[in-house]
């Protein structure tokens, strides 16, 4: 399945680090910044999460909710949230079902090895649940600023 601009964002329900089950449809009426990232506590993912943390108030004031998704288990998400004081919810996609639904579960290459993993991707979803913008193969540097500038247009 291809998830692209102008398409309804696929709904899902996943466990969150706060102990709740969270559905994308819970956020209808608000913009959602849905970002998929490979792994808690790794350098790029930590930088991205901390950049979203540092801009969190701006996103909230602009009417957007930030949700992060990775295949990490809830316990690891909670440690990540506590260690870096992340103010937003992290969702656990241990089966990678949602990553596959959003077409971000990809064959990756690193140091000559091939493996399946999350391709760092961010989706901006509007109040009606439609995808407004997709950032694929995200480079962490300046990414959060780019997302916010599109959100603010």
- Rounded to 5°, the CA angle 36-145-60 comes to 75
Asked if 45 is an active-site residue, the reply is: yes
Q: Would you put residue 20 in left (φ > 0), alpha (ψ -120 to 50) or beta?
A: beta
CA distances, 123 to each of 68, 85, 112, 129, 150 (Å):
11, 23, 29, 11, 11
The CA radius of gyration of the chain, in Å to the nearest whole number, is 14
- Given the residues 32, 33, 45, 147, the one annotated as active site: 45
Residue pair 50/143 in contact by the 8 Å Cβ criterion: no
- Indicate which residues carry an active-site annotation: 45
């Amino acid at each position: 399945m291809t998830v692209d601009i102008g398409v309804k964002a696929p709904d899902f329900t996943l466990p969150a680090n706060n102990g709740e089950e969270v559905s994308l449809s819970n956020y209808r009426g608000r913009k959602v910044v849905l970002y998929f990232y490979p792994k808690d506590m790794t350098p790029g993912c930590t930088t991205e999460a901390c950049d979203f943390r540092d801009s969190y108030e701006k996103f909230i004031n602009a009417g957007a909710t930030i949700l992060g998704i990775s295949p990490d288990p809830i316990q690891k998400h909670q440690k990540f949230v506590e260690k870096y004081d992340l103010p937003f919810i992290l969702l656990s996609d241990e089966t990678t079902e949602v990553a596959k639904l959003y077409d971000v579960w990809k064959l990756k290459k690193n140091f000559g090895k091939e493996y399946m993993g999350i391709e760092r991707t961010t989706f901006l979803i509007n109040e009606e649940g439609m995808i407004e913008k997709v950032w694929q193969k995200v480079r962490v540097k300046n990414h959060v600023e780019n997302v916010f500038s599109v959100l603010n247009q």
